[in-house]
Amino acid sequence: MSTTDNPAGGGWDKIQTGIKDTERLIGQKKYNMAMIKARQTLECMVKALCEQSGIMQGNLIDMIDALYEDGVISRTTSEHYHKIRTIGNKAIHEDDNNSYNASQAHHLLAQEVYTFINDYSGRRKKAAPPQRRPVPDGNVRRGGRPSASSNASRRRRGAPQRRGLDPGSIIKPLLLIAIIIALIFIIKMIRPAEEKAPETSSEPVTEAPAETPAMSIPPIEIPTTEAAAAPAVRYKTTDALNVRSAPSTDAATKIGLLTLGTEVEFVSDYDDTWCVIKYNGQDAYVSKEFLTPVQ
């Protein structure tokens, strides 16, 4: 669909990019950022509808209510818009990182983008029917009856013309199928799989010694289902410290807060300012300035 076929104009590219980024962030388990991206994409779509309908822009709540009161969107669409907005606000102000909320925001956004394309996008004006030309005098017989050549000409003009294949009739079903496939994939990925309880071995497990001598000794194989993890380097915080999903001080990257004296599992240095730690089972970033090794 070209930008001339929808009211968003250049904003349509932002809407397409927004829903793809939302799906990508969910796949990366960055649920907080996915919910924020869904709200940003919704705001772009709402502004496009307001511009098309001549509605004065205000905050997101007022714009959605104005679209519904003016009959531009349905009640169901209005409820979906407010739900996406609420989930996004909770992610921004409360650092919500719930996978279910992120999946729900993406599902509603994908549904409303499809409705936006088919029901709320600007429609082209229908071309006026061609006017019939008067029959020339030379084709009219005496007595007011048209000649044989005039009748043949009318039959040719009256014959239905074959129209070319409309690209829109192909793109819309394909887009719907693609959205459905994407939703099925996301639901299967997020839905917790039923895991069977691991079978425990009846053989005794040999514990690794707390300290190993300086000389090189072959590692002792432990008969367990998973290899023993190497001891992690641990640090503790020297002040209250923000935990972030990326090495940036942007508000959207904050995923947690460590209090003074909290021990953390150090993974690696990222650069001279940031380092990587383990936080809730995943890699996260903190400022190296506020960490000190545990004695």
Q: What is the pLDDT of residues 34-87, one digit of tens each?
A: 999 999 999 999 998 898 888 887 899 999 999 999 999 999 999 999 999 999
Q: Which of 248, 229, 251, 244 is nearest to 279 (CA)?
A: 244
**Same domain, residue pair 19 and 96:** yes
What pLDDT is stored for residue 157 in this prediction? 53
**Same domain, residue pair 95 and 36:** yes
Q: Domain with 284 in it: what CATH number?
A: 2.30.30.40
**In this model, does residue 158 exceed pLDDT 70?**
no
Give pairs for 158-166: CB < 8 Å, separation 24+.
none
What separation in angstroms does the CA of 140 have from each of 136, 137, 153?
A: 7, 5, 12
**In this model, does residue 128 exceed pLDDT 60?**
no
Residue 148 lies in a domain: no
The most confident of 78-92, 104-118, 256-270, by mean pLDDT:
78-92
Q: Give the residue numbers spanning the domain of 247.
A: 233-293
What pLDDT is stored for residue 38 in this prediction? 92
**Same domain, residue pair 113 and 58:** yes
pTM: 0.40
Q: What is the pLDDT of residues 237-251, one digit of tens each?
A: 988 888 998 988 887
**Same domain, residue pair 180 and 56:** yes
